[in-house]
Amino acid sequence: MHTVVCVKHVPDATDIRFDPITLNLIREGVPSIVNPFCLNAIEEGIRLKEKIGGTVTAVAMGPLQAQEALREALAMGADNAVMVSDRAMAGADTLATSYTLWRTLATVAETNPFDLVLTGKVAIDGETGQVPPGLAVRFNIPIISNVTKIVDVDLNRKTVTAKHRFDDGIETVRASLPAVLTMTEEVNKPRKFTIDGMLKAKRTKLDIWDKTSIRADPNFLGLGGSPTIVKKVFSPPGRKQGEGFDGTTDPRAAAKWLIEKLNSVHAFGSASDKPKPEGSQKSSTEATTTNNESNRFGEVWVWIEHLHGNPASVSWELLGEGKHLADVYGTKLAGVVIGNNASHLAKEAFVHGADKVYLIERPEFEDYRTQPYARAMEQTVKKFKPEALLLGGTIRGRDLAGSAATFLETGLIADCTGLDVDIQTGTFLGTRPDYGGNLMSTIICPKTRPTMASVRPRVMKSLPPSEGRDGEIIKVDVNLNPSDMNTEVLEFVPIEKVGVRLEDAQIIVSGGRGLGQAKYFSLIEDLAKVLHAQVGASRAAVRAGWIGYEHQVGQTGLTVRPRLYFAIGISGAIQHIVGIMNVDYIVAINSDPDAPIFKMADFGITGDLFKIVPAIIDELKKSTEAP
């Protein structure tokens, strides 16, 4: 068995530098690390070798300093390593990157065909997860994204069975080999280097290839082969720092102060409360419309994501934002529904703002499967030619976006938190966080259409439902080949959540590394219970194994938009902040008065959380017991 592992060397987010002219990342001389999720991929490849036999080849693309990542892979147990590096590859977006890796892996396969390609679920410098689906499309092989466990590899039947995570459950799926699998942190714990491994890594000769070695077409490489271009790079916007209280000496006084403040702004959900104004959200009536007299612009489309007919709320959020964009373009807003017996979703899309719906129904679309859905989207887009296509930045949405964009050979702006249109030129603008949220980038797609964008859930606001609203349904027939049906869904287990989903909660109480141990999360749960809230967590708490991934808030977890958010024992790393930018009111409790979270908080308390949180619980209980 031959497993290829794609390894990415990512820059240290604390030392990011850009070329001021090209706006490309300067990688030479910048401290870098192996992408943490790639370590999971390397580990899983080595475990499969130890269990089944075979070889593991590590592949990296980038400047020559990325050889360090390959040395780490060799030290862990990989057998071979290939470095592909060429100045012509600089500035590559996800489409150009998947092309380069495709040519590299195809060259590897000429002498040793692979059975599996393993990658990390995302790279922490971009958090998009778009390259692996593109790689699978180019090889015309299946992909299983966000794998939590490889259940079985059957070389005789040429299949792989794995469990993988969606936002709403864990699915077991069987795919034909070869296949691409992306690894989550849940799949394993990467091993440490051994002395023997380090010596082997030092002795092993790396294959260094360039664009000629992989027989790549220069037109598809680097900046020149990338349909998307970075237009602007800037620091992320901040929130106005609120009020603080020193609860070091008197936790009860701090608790009383906090509850009085929260009551004064009706943060607990009083009917008379009005949320903070949404400065970034434009209403469709305020939008300036471009001149579309000659039908210069196509329609704005939104993929209506669903699970067996139950829509994802991000679809309605995107229709809300899509309405604004369609008004600016002077065109129609359309939903795209792919499924089986899913026509009711078209009517729901009209209620949430769509003018028309493209309905694609077949029994094969009962379950979401990457290639059939991507083929359906590709054929529909090519037939009707929209201006822009928006998809939710969910696990399914990212998976479909990367695949469909590769089929369409168009630009994809992934993981957006802001969308706009240049009124003068009609250029679509997508703004997204980069490098752990330390920077924001505005990206354009000037050469191809449609411009595709995936957008984080809970960032945009849906329109008020207009019951009885109707529109045009256009039924679309698509053609599928037997080779498109390269995965089989065996089981789906919904994530069991008590009460409201975290994404939809009005109050969230989150705990972080400051809790010290898993057992102290009971304090977070006690406060959440009194507030009828949901429990969240920082990435550090989840990675420590104190609480499940479904509770993680931040760039690598969920983006949330509750009325009230408690950050307890959370320092306020930028990747966590990215997930709570649109919260109405943030409360921070931390022993460190210089913790970055206080700069974001509306109300902050400095002190011992093990004294302050119980005091808050007591005060809340008193207020509910009062006559």
Of 624 and 100, the one with more pLDDT:
100
Q: How confident is the model at residue 285 (pLDDT cuts 50, 70, 90)?
A: very low
Residue 30 is predicted with a pLDDT of 60
Residue 211 lies in a domain: yes
Predicted confidence (pLDDT) at residue 21 exceeds the cutoff of 50: yes
Answer yes or no: do 406 and 344 share one domain.
yes
| Euclidean distance between CA atoms 313 and 304, whole angstroms | 9
Residue 7 lies in a domain: yes
Residue 353, Cβ neighbours under 10 Å: how many? 26
Based on the structure, what is the number of domains in the chain? 3
The torsion angles phi and psi of 252, rounded to 5 degrees, stand at -70, -40
Answer yes or no: do 125 and 76 share one domain.
yes
Answer yes or no: do 315 and 425 share one domain.
yes
**How would DSSP label each residue in 137-193?**
HHHT--EEEEEEEEEEEETTTTEEEEEEEETTEEEEEEEESSEEEEE-TTS--PPPP
Answer yes or no: do 104 and 29 share one domain.
yes
Residue 233 is predicted with a pLDDT of 87
Q: How confident is the model at residue 13 (pLDDT cuts 50, 70, 90)?
A: low
The answer to whether 333 and 355 are in contact (CB under 8 A) is: yes
pLDDT digits (tens, 9 = 90+) for 72-102: 999 999 999 999 999 999 999 999 999 999 9
Predicted confidence (pLDDT) at residue 455 exceeds the cutoff of 80: yes
Answer yes or no: do 487 and 617 share one domain.
no
Q: Residue 234 carries which side chain, given as an amino acid letter?
A: F
> What is the bridge-based pairing of β-strands 534-537 and 507-511?
parallel
Answer yes or no: do 66 and 91 share one domain.
yes
Residue 292 lies in a domain: no
**How would DSSP label each residue in 28-61?**
TTS-EEE-HHHHHHHHHHHHHHHHH--EEEEEEE
Answer yes or no: do 557 and 451 share one domain.
no
Q: How confident is the model at residue 29 (pLDDT cuts 50, 70, 90)?
A: low
Answer yes or no: do 159 and 204 share one domain.
yes
Last residue of a domain, one of 449, 464, 491: 491
Q: Which two tokens stand for residue 387?
A: 């201006």
Last residue of a domain, one of 439, 461, 491: 491
Strand partners, 181: 118, 144
Handedness of CA 246, 251, 255, 257 (dihedral sign): negative
Q: How confident is the model at residue 373 (pLDDT cuts 50, 70, 90)?
A: very high
Range of the domain at 36: 2-226
Residue 444 host element (H or E): strand 439-444
Residue 276 lies in a domain: no
Residue 368 lies in a domain: yes
Residue 232 lies in a domain: no
| Euclidean distance between CA atoms 372 and 482, whole angstroms | 10
Answer yes or no: do 166 and 248 share one domain.
no
Q: Residue 418 carries which side chain, given as an amino acid letter?
A: G
Residue 294 lies in a domain: no
Answer yes or no: do 150 and 203 share one domain.
yes
Answer yes or no: do 434 and 393 share one domain.
yes
Answer yes or no: do 484 and 511 share one domain.
no
Whether the model pTM is above 0.85: no
The CATH number of whichever domain residue 345 belongs to comes to 3.40.50.620
The CATH number of whichever domain residue 522 belongs to comes to 3.40.50.1220
Residue 287 is predicted with a pLDDT of 46
pLDDT digits (tens, 9 = 90+) for 386-431: 999 999 999 999 999 999 999 999 999 998 989 999 988 999 999 9
Angle at 576 between CA 573 and CA 581, to 5 degrees: 115
Percent of the chain residues topping a pLDDT of 70: 90
The answer to whether 223 and 22 are in contact (CB under 8 A) is: yes
Q: What would the mean pLDDT of 454-477 be, rounded to a whole number?
A: 93
Residue 604 lies in a domain: yes
Residue 426 is predicted with a pLDDT of 92
Q: What would the mean pLDDT of 564-572 be, rounded to a whole number?
A: 96
| Euclidean distance between CA atoms 412 and 228, whole angstroms | 7
Last residue of a domain, one of 491, 521, 550: 491
Residue 20 is predicted with a pLDDT of 54
What separation in angstroms does the CA of 471 have from each of 311, 350, 474? Answer: 18, 6, 10
| Euclidean distance between CA atoms 130 and 98, whole angstroms | 9
pLDDT digits (tens, 9 = 90+) for 149-206: 999 999 999 999 999 999 888 999 999 999 999 999 889 999 988 889 999 899 998 9
Q: What would the mean pLDDT of 59-70 be, rounded to a whole number?
A: 93
